[in-house]
Chains A and B, each alone.
Chain A
Amino acid sequence: MSPIFGKLTWQAIPFQEPIPLITSIVVIVALAAIALWITRIKAWPFLWNEYITSTDHKKIGIMYIVLGFVMLVRGFADAIMMRAHQFLAVGQGQGYLTPEHYNQIFSAHGVIMIFFVAMPLVIGFMNFVVPLQLGVRDVAFPTLNNVSFWLSASGALLVNMSLFLGEFARTGWLAFPPLSEKAFSPGVGVDYYLVALQISGVGTTLTAVNFVTTILKIRAPGMSYMRMPVFCWTSLASSLLMLAAFPVLTATLALLMLDRYLGFHFFTNDGGGNSMLYMNLIWVWGHPEVYILVLPAFGIYSEIAATFSGKPLFGYRSMVVATLAICILSFTVWLHHFFTMGAGANVNAVFGIASMLIGIPTGVKIYNWLFTMYGGRVRFTVPVHYLIGFMLLFVGGGLTGVLLAIPPVDFIVHNSLFLVAHFHHVIIPGVVFAILAGYTYWFPKAFGFTLDERLGKLAFWGWFIGFNLAFMPSYLLGFWGGTRRMQHISDPTWKPWLGVELVGAFFIAAGIAFLAIQLFYSIKTRDQRRDVTGDPWDGRTLEWLTLSPPPHYNFAVLPDVHGEEAYWHRKQLAIERATLIPEPAYQPIEMPVNTPTGVIVAFFATVCGFALIWYIWWLAIVGLIGAFAVFVWYAWQDEHEHIIPVEEVIKNSRERRRIRQQNLQNLSQSV
């Protein structure tokens, strides 16, 4: 091992394997082309000032969402490669992926989809929406927010780097020992996994601190707990889960790192290590993680159900209680991921019953959405398509979950394709559909124009049909004994089912393609689809009070909240009186300044992480010292805020009031 380059040699580049090599070259060329294009149109200063160094929660939210969607394409490329390979590797067929490569692909697919697709997208929506819904100007710690984003991006970068330099883990998405120990995975793959997740995990913990503080301490006047929109409640529950669960992930991965790097004996086969300890620890994080993702998704559905049914959310209080019940119960069920450990009948029974209990608050939510729509004037927009598709599918996914929670059943289908079908059945309709619905719903708020409905519906049908074709057959295959993560399938009678699943993957590909076309088409025709009012859907919560896109400070004066559905109440009052509330007393606004802290810290974190993966010790020390120096430099600065002059505030606010006044007049003329 070289003292300067560690384990890094020319052999790290996969010259022998055409698939990663060509993919890497295409990605590098594409990135270079994008960089060149940005340079050509001279957009670097704009990107640097408006996004990269921004402390604006809306901009940070948009960056998270962009990261999530880009990684979705990467994770989906893995998925379609696996489905194509499975179809070809039946009976006599051998497929086109070697076992080593196939194992890396399913591991990367899981890691990317959970950590770098679902997490950034969910956190992105929390960032964009929560401060607006609470009627405030930013999160509690804007600079920290920027740091969190760049740490997530740093993790995503390291995972993707493994494509071009070295390899990725072949251990599955949770890297269970003893397989992930040095003795059985001596390469850099597991190190890539560990380091990338450590860096992004720290970012997530900081996000949790930020959002719990924001929601509990920074709300508009009058915005008491029981007046908060349900999305804020679910974001709070999700942030609390992150706060309590991610440190456990950090600790667990650190222990595995100690085993691998320094020869400790936590999870090894020798020295008294215990690999089941890892299972327990990782699932103490892993099960709440499921709810970290799905609770904000439930929040998105709640907003959509109320808005597009033209009714207040049915059972608001029960929704809040159900959310918090799920939040607590999610910490009591981790053992159901390894009933087969052999903890004994009584332990398994307790965890099985606890798991089934989660079905109750979830059921409450489903009925609340149904009753919200019942008797309402439902507008069948794209988000409502996703909502209905979700309810139809999620109930089924939940029921197979209840099946899996019965220990004797679990003994039979444990680690089978039935399980794979189950968790895709809850995550895709539960989380991905919600994200796509939320994307359509809040897009006009972020950019000032709506997305094309027709293309959006096509995308929905691609996802809906594609999901059903791609995963329903797996339930059958699982019952027939199909084990997950198999590189070759010996029973030739399964081929038609695998063919159906491949067709399903193509439908989802079409759904993704329609999303891309929709975005380009909508940008092209944005002048016809402008949202001038700031309230394109006849919304009920405070984000629709301000302009689209909102000014940096969101609200000229913090709104005064007088009841549930803060904005709806205000809007009805204005319509009734045919006039807006009197102009408030404007004041200058203090806002946080931009800072390059996040991107520099993430740079040093990436350097340090890369050095750890390749055993380049001097570089790791440089990275650590660099990160500490940035910290001291940032702490030394005095000015973290700048003042927006009152004239600018007045100008923006009067413009908004003029539009709203005009709307009111149009409304009263039409009546």
Chain B
Amino acid sequence: MSAHEAASIGLTHGGSEDTGLGHRGPESKSIVVPYGFWLFVLSDMVLFSALFATYASLVHATDGGPTTIQLFDRKLVAVETLALLLSSFTCGLAMIASHRRNIVWTQIWFAVTGLLGLLFLCIELYEFTHMIGEGAGPQRSAFLSSFFTLVGTHGIHVFSGLLWLGTMMAQLWAKGWRQHVERRLLCFSIFWHALDIIWVAIFTIVYLIGTLP
């Protein structure tokens, strides 16, 4: 249903006492789509909260194997975090450029976002392979199982985000500005910032607390 039609029905309503949200009738797609996507992101956060709970309850179940303080390297994670947070910033710049209908800068900032995301993933992969090489793989102990699952699930999300970003850049390049393309860019930026929020929690709960003396 178009916004125009809903508005025309609203007029026939003629000053009723009702001031509820339903008064105007159905919301337009530009409201409904990001709203629905927000809900999806929230459900994703619930999924992560289950993984955080698992990590928190298994973090000391090392089965005689390596512990957090022996494994984590704050400097490496600092670089990783910087890359991801910067990518959120450039994603914001890309969105500003898209509001100005500047296709060149939009694409450039999205490309930078993607590259920073890729850098983040590479560092994570390096960390993972390094740990597995040292005999601290996910099969070693319940603690390591939960570490690899929590951090790895975030990594898979970043990877899916990169696939999505690539698709969106291709759509923008092939089709230019369309309403549905713009809605999806907004959803993508919600997703990308949400991954940052999750990462901040991982950084704090896993790495920061894990490397406290």
The answer on a CB contact under 8 Å between A281 and B50 is: yes
Q: Which of B24, B46, B171 touches A635 (beta carbons < 8 Å)?
A: B171
* Nearest CB in chain A to that of B148: its residue: A264
Q: A628 and B163 in contact (CB under 8 A), knowing A224-B23, A272-B142, A281-B53? A: yes
The answer on a CB contact under 8 Å between A251 and B50 is: yes
B20 at the interface (CB under 8 A from A): yes
The answer on a CB contact under 8 Å between B141 and A219 is: no
Q: A271 and B141 in contact (CB under 8 A), knowing A217-B32, A558-B6, A590-B2? A: yes
* Chain A 253-278 interface mask (CB, 8 Å, partner B; 1/0): 01100110011111010111110010
Give the distance in Å from the alpha carbon of A205 to the alpha carbon of B61 in the complex.
32
The answer on a CB contact under 8 Å between A558 and B25 is: yes
The answer on a CB contact under 8 Å between A221 and B58 is: no
Q: A636 and B50 in contact (CB under 8 A), knowing A218-B26, A221-B10, A273-B61? A: no
* Chain B 84-124 interface mask (CB, 8 Å, partner A; 1/0): 00000000000000000000000000000000000000000
A159 at the interface (CB under 8 A from B): no
B residues less than 8 Å from A638 (CB atoms):
175, 178, 180
9-residue interface stretch from A136-144, A317-325, A404-412: A136-144
Interface hits, B155-211 → A, CB 8 Å: 163, 167, 171, 175, 178, 180, 184
Q: A277 and B9 in contact (CB under 8 A), knowing A217-B35, A251-B50, A271-B142? A: no
A3 at the interface (CB under 8 A from B): no
A487 at the interface (CB under 8 A from B): no
The answer on a CB contact under 8 Å between A248 and B46 is: yes
Q: A209 and B40 in contact (CB under 8 A), knowing A277-B58, A560-B9? A: yes
The answer on a CB contact under 8 Å between B8 and A213 is: no
A601 at the interface (CB under 8 A from B): no
B91 vs chain A, min Cβ distance (A) = 19
The answer on a CB contact under 8 Å between B9 and A558 is: yes
B1 at the interface (CB under 8 A from A): yes
B212 at the interface (CB under 8 A from A): no
Interface hits, A108-147 → B, CB 8 Å: 136-137, 140-141
B residues less than 8 Å from A255 (CB atoms):
54, 149
* Chain B 24-47 interface mask (CB, 8 Å, partner A; 1/0): 111100011001100110111011
Give the distance in Å from the alpha carbon of A274 to the alpha carbon of B58 in the complex.
8
Q: Which of B2, B13, B32, B57 touches A221 (beta carbons < 8 Å)?
A: B13
A584 at the interface (CB under 8 A from B): yes
A585 at the interface (CB under 8 A from B): yes
Q: Which of A212, A221, A587 touches B23 (beta carbons < 8 Å)?
A: A221
The answer on a CB contact under 8 Å between B61 and A584 is: no
Residues of B within 8 Å of A, CB-based: how many? Answer: 56
The answer on a CB contact under 8 Å between A223 and B141 is: no
* Chain A 623-657 interface mask (CB, 8 Å, partner B; 1/0): 00000100010011010100000000000000000
Chain A CB count within 10 A is highest, among B21, B36, B54, for B36
The answer on a CB contact under 8 Å between A247 and B47 is: yes
Q: A557 and B139 in contact (CB under 8 A), knowing A213-B35, A220-B25? A: no
Q: A223 and B36 in contact (CB under 8 A), knowing A244-B43, A587-B5? A: no
Q: Which of B5, B16, B140, B149 touches A258 (beta carbons < 8 Å)?
A: B149
* Nearest CB in chain B to that of A264: its residue: B145
* Chain A 569-598 interface mask (CB, 8 Å, partner B; 1/0): 000000000000000110101100000000
The answer on a CB contact under 8 Å between B142 and A243 is: no
Given known contacts A222-B13, A222-B18, A266-B145, what 13 new A-B pairs fall within 8 Å (CB)? A209-B36, A216-B21, A217-B35, A221-B6, A227-B18, A227-B20, A251-B47, A252-B50, A254-B149, A258-B149, A262-B139, A561-B22, A590-B2
Chain B residues in the interface with A (C-beta under 8 A)? 1-2, 5-6, 8-10, 12-13, 16, 18, 20-27, 31-32, 35-36, 39-40, 42-44, 46-47, 50-51, 53-54, 57-58, 61-63, 138-143, 145-146, 148-149, 163, 167, 171, 175, 178, 180, 184
**A–B pairs, 28, beta carbons within 8 Å:** A140-B36, A209-B39, A209-B43, A213-B36, A217-B35, A219-B21, A221-B10, A221-B24, A222-B13, A225-B22, A243-B39, A244-B46, A248-B47, A248-B50, A251-B51, A258-B149, A263-B139, A264-B139, A264-B148, A266-B54, A271-B141, A277-B57, A558-B9, A558-B26, A562-B16, A584-B12, A587-B8, A590-B2
Chain A residues in the interface with B (C-beta under 8 A)? 136-137, 140-141, 205-206, 208-210, 212-213, 216-227, 243-248, 250-252, 254-255, 258-259, 262-266, 268, 270-274, 277, 281, 284, 557-558, 560-562, 584-585, 587, 589-590, 628, 632, 635-636, 638, 640
